Amino acid sequence: MTQHISSRVRALAPSATLAMSQMSAELKAQGIDVINLSVGEPDFFTPEHIKQAAHRAIDDNFSFYTPVPGYLSLRKAICEKLLRENDLEFTPEQIVVGNGAKHALCNTVMALVNPGDEVIIPTPAWVSYVQMVNLTGGVSVTVPAGIEQDFKITAAQLEQAITPKTRLIILCSPSNPTGSVYSHDELKALANVIAQHDNVFVIADEIYEHINYVGRHESLAQFSEIRDRVAIINGVSKAYAMTGWRIGYVAAPLWLAKAVSKLQGQYTSGASSIAQKAAEAAYNGPQECVETMRQAFLRRRDLIVGMLREIPGLKVNVPHGAFYVFPEVSAFFGLRHGDTIINNDTDLAMYLLRQAHVATVSGEAFCAPGYIRLSYATSDDNLIQAAERIKAALAQLA
Ligand code: PMP
Ligand code: GLU
């Protein structure tokens, strides 16, 4: 029989971050000692009090379907978090909890974008944004910001990218894959531009909110002139080391939250009951664990940046948030080792995997050729070894 796959899914690229991580797991299974700096997830275990809440939820029979937008108690906890930490007022009706921030984000893009609508995506950008837009039949308009501008777009660049067809902007700060963090003034300048264009909506992906080395998190939603046109994406995956629990949310204007909830009701239903109770404990419980992990990431940031800067040919800026570093690697293009020729960042990432046994992700996957991404959410020992191996492998290219 003909293998009939819809054009929608055929047009979709697989997730490069997850693919690289899978490849590294396969090599490991063959007995090869691979250091995996590809996928971005905290290496810490979920804090004990959060795990206890999940145990309790099982014992207390939280085993039935959950409300489509999430338990009211969790949505209340999220509203309290938004008020406490971000000074933003939301009602529980404006929150829709999904299976991870990725799901909440995809739901929101689906609810907003029609075929032909333009979606502005500053690049480097996380792998899934363009693909989510592809699913809707929308058109991604990428706006590049290289290392020379700390990977952040300017208000003038944004203004230039907006057309009558622009429906949405997706902005990520702190950023995956660059670790760049927009300052209050930089966000304000972007908000001023957005305010001039009534039909343009914004998704602020704030999943790395708590992994920030420059101080208070700045949200695009804080600017009153665009407040009713911003949806915040966030969740427990990164801040509380809960990637596998799959709880994220969108906080949005009511009309949009209702649309997202309708979509979710037909598509996946409410998120896992046990994971929601765990997430509730994360938001309502002690927050010291978040700070402890942030400090560990900061120390590792300094460690890896220091070591990478010692490697000739790599151009490395200092990331101010998240747990990624995004060096520029074009100095190695055109070089070879034996039969292997490095023509681009994908070749380099594959070379590092095969030669150094270090898994990274090519910049290409983030719409940013010429770079590679390393996640430093791993032990100091792994980071030290990985940097040594990368240095040795790159030194063999001539
Ligand atoms: N946005 C960005 C920028 C991310 O890096 C991730 C992590 N995969 C997500 C969203 C999705 O997070 P989650 O694991 O909660 O789906
Ligand atoms: N956000 C993580 C990353 O970029 C997890 C993988 C994914 O969901 O793409 O590595």
Residue 50 lies in a domain: no
Into how many domains does the chain fold?
2
pTM: 0.97
pLDDT at position 22 is 87
**Count of CA atoms in the C-beta half-sphere (13 A) of 162:** 21
Are residue 81 and residue 146 in the same domain, yes or no?
yes
Q: Which residue has its alpha carbon closest to ligand 1 atom 5?
A: 176
Are residue 294 and residue 280 in the same domain, yes or no?
no
Residue that finishes a domain, picked among 284, 304, 327? 284
pLDDT at position 323 is 98
CA of 169 to the centre of ligand 1 (A): 17
- 273-303: b or e for each residue (b if 16 or more CB lie within 10 Å)? bbbbbbbbbbbbbebebbeebbebbeebbee
Centroid of chain to Cα 269: 23
Amino acid at 258: K
pLDDT at position 395 is 98
Domain residue limits at 250: 64-284
Task: Quote the CA–CA distance of 295 and 316 in Å, as a whole number.
Answer: 21
Task: Quote the CA–CA distance of 31 and 52 in Å, as a whole number.
Answer: 35
Residue that finishes a domain, picked among 284, 307, 335? 284
Residue 56 lies in a domain: no
Are residue 225 and residue 369 in the same domain, yes or no?
no
pLDDT at position 190 is 98
Residue 109 lies in a domain: yes
Are residue 30 and residue 15 in the same domain, yes or no?
yes
Ligand 1 site: residues with CB under 6 angstroms?
Answer: 40, 100-102, 105, 126, 172, 176, 205, 207, 235, 237, 243, 248
pLDDT at position 23 is 86
CA of 366 to the centre of ligand 1 (A): 14
**Residue 134 belongs to domain with CATH number:** 3.40.640.10
Residue 181 lies in a domain: yes
Residue that finishes a domain, picked among 267, 284, 301? 284
**Residue 308 belongs to domain with CATH number:** 3.90.1150.10
Q: Which residues of the chain have pLDDT under 70?
A: none
**Count of CA atoms in the C-beta half-sphere (13 A) of 366:** 33
Are residue 238 and residue 275 in the same domain, yes or no?
yes
Are residue 16 and residue 73 in the same domain, yes or no?
no
Ligand nearest to the CA of 128: 2
Are residue 189 and residue 97 in the same domain, yes or no?
yes
pLDDT at position 39 is 87
Ligand nearest to the CA of 204: 1
Q: Which helix (H) or strand (E) holds 136?
A: helix 128-136
